[in-house]
Amino acid sequence: MIKFFRHIRKQLLVENKTGKYLKYAIGEIVLVMIGILLALQVNNWNEDRKSLKFEKRILIDLHNTIIDDYTSLERSIKENELSKNSCEIILSHFDDNIPYNDSLAFHFENAHLRWKSSATISAYERAKSYGLDFIKDDSTRILLTKIFVGNNNFSETLDEREALYFHNSAVPILTSLFKSTEVALSKEFIEGNHIPYDYEILKENKEYRTILKTTVGYRKNTIWWMNYRFRQMKSLETKLKRTIDKM
């Protein structure tokens, strides 16, 4: 094709048709520029398609992470409810002067089981490193950051406060009142054979009652906060699904 155009230019010069030659040369330049622009446009389209595919994969990862997180959070809410209920059952046994029975051993242990659930931030960090501006909906982008950064940090702060109280204040008292208490630091709760040295003395122990009532308060706050986070995660999951379906 280039040889063909070169031949035409030479023929015009030989025939001394300078005007036509200039017009033809200009036309050829225009055609070349159009070709370059089309090539650039095609390249841009290809890059855009690659970017869109990558962005969709980021959103899918975030969507799957949110589903896993709120599923775990839902379980934590239920387990914390059971822990709170065990505290209240023990207190009611004390208040109603109900004799010791084997079922209380479960509640003595379960009362101090503590479940937490933090958002998995790996997918968010990948999205952040790419740049969150590709998410056009402001409410989705804001909620995303709120869940994976603000709420996550606050959850960790709440858990640290309860952990400090539990290990510094509760554990020393619990170990003096029960025959066997095994502190499982990695799981952040006490597990083991929770049989009191003396149930009658335990019923009248004001420090133990305070621990139970304080634990109920912690559980109520935790459950409220987890339910709040759960609703936010469900909302974000819906927004992400809607965005993915439009891509």
Number of structural domains (the chain) is 1
What DSSP string describes 172-223?
HHHHHHBS--EEETTTTEEES---BS-HHHHHT-HHHHHHHHHHHHHHHHHH
Instruction: Report yes or no on 138 lying in a domain.
Output: yes
Instruction: Report yes or no on 27 lying in a domain.
Output: no
b/e burial code for range 101-123 (CB count within 10 A of at least 16 → b):
eeebeebbbbbbbbbbbbbbeeb
What whole-number distance in Å separates Cα of residue 232 and Cα of residue 173? 38
Instruction: Report yes or no on 15 lying in a domain.
Output: no
Instruction: Report yes or no on 102 lying in a domain.
Output: yes
Instruction: Report yes or no on 25 lying in a domain.
Output: no
Instruction: Report yes or no on 185 lying in a domain.
Output: yes
What whole-number distance in Å separates Cα of residue 239 and Cα of residue 237? 6
pLDDT by residue for the chain (247 residues), tens only, comes to 444 445 544 554 455 445 554 554 555 565 556 656 655 565 555 444 556 788 888 899 999 999 999 999 999 999 999 999 999 999 999 999 999 988 898 899 899 888 887 778 888 888 888 888 888 888 998 999 998 888 888 888 888 888 899 889 998 998 889 876 554 433 444 444 578 999 999 999 999 999 999 999 999 999 999 999 999 999 999 999 998 888 7
What whole-number distance in Å separates Cα of residue 123 and Cα of residue 127? 6
Instruction: Report yes or no on 113 lying in a domain.
Output: yes
Nearest CA-CA partner of 236 in 158, 131, 151 = 151
Domain of 179 in residue numbering reads as: 55-246
Instruction: Report yes or no on 34 lying in a domain.
Output: no
What whole-number distance in Å separates Cα of residue 85 and Cα of residue 113? 11
